[in-house]
Amino acid sequence: MSTDTDVQLVERAKRGEVHAFEMLVVKYQRRIERLIGRLVRDTDLVADVAQETFIRAYRALPQFRGESAFYTWLYRIAVNTAKKTLADLKRDPIITESALAAARQDDDETSRPEHELSDGETPEAVLASREIAATVNAAIEALPDDLRQAILLREVEGLSYDEIAAVMACPIGTVRSRIFRAREAIAERLRPLLDTTKGRRW
Amino acid sequence: MNNADLPAGSDRAALSALMDGELDASQVAAACASWRSEGHQRSDWHLYHLIGDTLRSEDLATRPAHDDQFMRRLRERLDREPVVLAPTRNDATAEAAAAASAATGTDGAPAMATLAAISPLQRRSARRARWAVPVGIAAGVVAVAGVVWSTRSDSGALMAGRFLPASAAASAATLRDDRATLAEAELSGYLRAHREVPGLVAPTPSAGYLRNAAYDAGDR
């Protein structure tokens, strides 16, 4: 999805624009954390492994040749960083009690050591995530048909503006405008949910 | 692309088009610049992607505060990293090697990442090691020269005859390669710093002499 953007941002990052790399991080961080969460399972470790993944990707950026999509490349780095972390944890069990218990999965559920719930799984976090999903869904339902169709064709079906223009039989500028207006309408509903002062975020 | 439908001056609209890969290079440059300088642009970029992720899969609807915290933490680490500067000219050998490692699949990526993680640091330490020797020798020469000056200060005229003229010293500094030029800059800074300590080294005319002696020592 939107690989052109990735190519452009990667090129800029390669020329020393760190913020272009940060834009890619903002884009992919949730997917990378979800991927790592499936491999590592210990939620305390997920963010650490994700951080390491992005640092490794940043360092390896000069070697990235664009033969695969940026996300495919990032995905590989994430998988290997997760594997390496698990291997390191097995060698050094002192820091790994909860992580290893998680890695053993469910075969010994009763003796699994208790560990404090981390950020990703506190009831508040789960609730907040559900609230965001519900808000996005409600906002989509409330959109006029042409805006809803445009953003779903883009975000869910992954069509380009050209393709959406063909499907919706309208000029490409209209597609661009509809998608933007749809995003803004949803964002307007989400902004009040952001739990820090608006101006101080990011 | 027709911008007529969009609100005038809407940088949010540009971000929206950027994330869909629908901006040309100059527009991308402008959008990236405003992303860098404007907090609300960063916030909107995040929000638009959060919306896209949530539409595709509800389990990606993470709390914005978590993402914010993640980015802050990563930024602190990125600040400590050497800036990435990929060569713009084509280096056939490096490209072939990079292509080979990229093509090795699952195991290729971490190896490549590790390699790249080490190399900037290695480059740095190698550079540091290269300077450590001549600068160290220069420090020794400065100390010795200081002693010589203080023991022979009564025969200043004799010493003056041994100093190279400033112009000769300058032309000597331009010889050799870029390394010598850099060494010149580095050494003169070092010597200037020491000259500011009263009574430690000889007065200004000896600077040329000292620099020359340092190179002689380095060549040996």
CA A76 distance to own-chain centroid: 15
Contact A172 B106 (CB under 8 A): no
Residues A4-47 pLDDT 10s: 899 999 999 999 999 999 999 999 999 999 999 999 988 889 99
Kindly state whether A34 is in contact with chain B, defined as any CB-CB distance less than 8 angstroms.
yes
Structurally, how many domains does chain B consist of?
2
B13 assigned to some structural domain: yes
Kindly state whether A156 is in contact with chain B, defined as any CB-CB distance less than 8 angstroms.
yes
Contact A58 B32 (CB under 8 A): no
Architecture of domain A123-200 in CATH?
A: Orthogonal Bundle (1.10)
Residues A184-201 pLDDT 10s: 999 999 999 875 544 455
Q: Where in chain A is the domain with CATH 1.10.10.10?
A: 123-200
DSSP B128-180: HHHHHHHHHHHHHHHHHHHHHHHHSGGGHHHHHHHSPPHHHHHHHHHSS-HHH
Give the DSSP letter of residue B59.
Answer: G
Kindly state whether A86 is in contact with chain B, defined as any CB-CB distance less than 8 angstroms.
no
Residues of B in contact with A12 (CB under 8 A): 28-29, 32
| B65/B137 same-domain check | no
Residues of B in contact with A130 (CB under 8 A): 61
**Full domain range(s) for residue B22:** 8-78
Contact A12 B32 (CB under 8 A): yes
B115 assigned to some structural domain: no
Residue of higher predicted confidence among A162 and B206: A162
Among chain B residues, CA nearest to A52: B74
Residues A55/B78, Cβ–Cβ less than 8 Å? yes
Alpha-carbon distance of A14 to A60, in angstroms, equals 10
B198 assigned to some structural domain: yes
Residue of higher predicted confidence among A74 and B135: A74
Helix axes A145-155 and A161-168, enclosed angle (nearest 10): 140
> What pLDDT is attached to residue B9?
45
Contact B83 A16 (CB under 8 A): yes
> What pLDDT is attached to residue A115?
43
Residues of A in contact with B86 (CB under 8 A): 14-15, 61-62
pLDDT band at B84 (very low <50, low <70, confident <90, very high): confident
Residues of B in contact with A173 (CB under 8 A): 1-5
| B145/B209 same-domain check | yes
Among chain B residues, CA nearest to A161: B22
| Pick among 3.40.50.2000, 1.20.120.50, 1.10.1740.10, 1.50.10.10: CATH of A3-116 | 1.10.1740.10
> What pLDDT is attached to residue A122?
80
Give the DSSP letter of residue A76.
Answer: H
| B131/B212 same-domain check | yes
| B133/B52 same-domain check | no
Kindly state whether A79 is in contact with chain B, defined as any CB-CB distance less than 8 angstroms.
yes
- Three-state SS string over A122-149 comes to CHHHHHHHHHHHHHHHHHHHHCCHHHHH
Residues of B in contact with A133 (CB under 8 A): 54, 58, 61
Residues B20/A161, Cβ–Cβ less than 8 Å? yes
Whether ipTM exceeds 0.90: no
Sign of CA dihedral B51, B54, B60, B62: positive
Residues 6+ apart with CB under 8 A from B63: A125, A128, A129, A132, A195
B17, B28, B81 member nearest A59 (Cβ): B81
Residues of A in contact with B9 (CB under 8 A): none
